[in-house]
């Protein structure tokens, strides 16, 4: 069984969904320390001149050690109205804005308490639209412990996986030893050749949120994953 393990990103980039589609089981790593100002709470969309961030405000004061699954959204900042206004201003002229905006805004309107619930609702929505049927589970539901590569290895062993697809950013610490070879687990690094698709405004910018792709390409989005 081939698996991948990633933290739950907010409105992920298209490579995130490509990675999900490449495995049998995708593990949401939700029982590790939350990193403020990470992709867990923000992502990039295209603006008139370059790009800008959509950031979800969270409660973090005195909560340095909280796990991802414990992070609460700070709803006092009314980020929902700000995000909807920004998305509308930047994408209302895109070809497929009307096809997706209501569904995206309805997810915002559910006014989630926890960041992970908002992130997973968006991830599930776009997986369904892109016809990605990969089994998705949470690491907090598994009886595993460890840190960094040891945690990853223990998840693989618990799930009886013989093939681990790793994000390229983890290469430095995963290659420090031969843990995967010693346990007969094939280690593969995910490499994504970013395609060029239709975008609004000026030159093409890669690595933006999935909403940039679907607003501009609609049903053709599935061809870019």
Instruction: Show pLDDT as tens, one digit a residue, over the chain (225 residues).
Output: 999 999 999 999 999 999 999 999 999 999 998 988 789 999 999 998 899 999 999 997 777 789 999 999 998 899 999 999 999 999 999 999 999 999 999 999 999 999 999 999 999 999 999 999 999 999 999 989 888 888 999 999 999 999 999 988 776 667 667 788 888 899 899 999 999 999 999 899 999 999 999 999 999 999 998
12 bridge partner residues: none
What CA–CA distance (Å, rounded) separates 100 from 24?
A: 27
What CA–CA distance (Å, rounded) separates 42 from 40?
A: 6
List C-alpha distances in Å: 152 to 19, 40, 86, 180: 16, 19, 37, 10
Decide: helix, strand or coil at residue 168.
helix
Write b or e for each residue in 99-137: b if 16 or more Cβ atoms lie within 10 A of its Cβ, otherwise e.
ebbeebeeebeeebeebbebbbebbebbbebbebebebe
Note the pTM of the prediction, 2 decimals.
0.94
- The pairing of strands 51-55 and 42-46 is antiparallel
13 bridge partner residues: 209
């Amino acid at each position: 069984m081939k698996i991948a393990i990633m933290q739950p990103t907010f409105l992920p980039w298209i490579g995130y969904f490509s990675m999900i589609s490449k495995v049998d089981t995708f593990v949401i790593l939700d029982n590790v320390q939350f990193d403020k100002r990470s992709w867990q709470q923000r992502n990039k969309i295209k603006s008139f001149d370059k790009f800008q961030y959509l950031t979800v405000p969270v409660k973090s004061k005195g909560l340095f050690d909280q796990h991802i699954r414990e992070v609460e959204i700070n709803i006092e900042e009314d980020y929902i109205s700000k995000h909807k206004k920004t998305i509308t201003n930047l994408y209302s002229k895109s070809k497929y804005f009307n096809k997706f905006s209501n569904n995206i805004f309805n997810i915002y309107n559910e006014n989630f308490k926890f960041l992970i619930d908002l992130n997973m609702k968006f991830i599930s929505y776009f997986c369904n639209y892109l016809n990605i049927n990969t089994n998705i589970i949470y690491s907090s539901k598994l009886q595993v412990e460890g840190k960094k590569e040891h945690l990853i290895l223990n998840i693989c062993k618990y799930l009886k996986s013989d093939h681990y697809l790793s994000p390229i950013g983890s290469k430095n610490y995963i290659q420090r030893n031969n843990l995967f070879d010693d346990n007969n687990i094939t280690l593969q690094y995910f490499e994504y050749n970013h395609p060029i698709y239709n975008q609004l405004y000026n030159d093409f910018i890669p690595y933006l949120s999935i909403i940039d792709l679907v607003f501009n390409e609609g049903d053709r989005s599935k061809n870019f994953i």
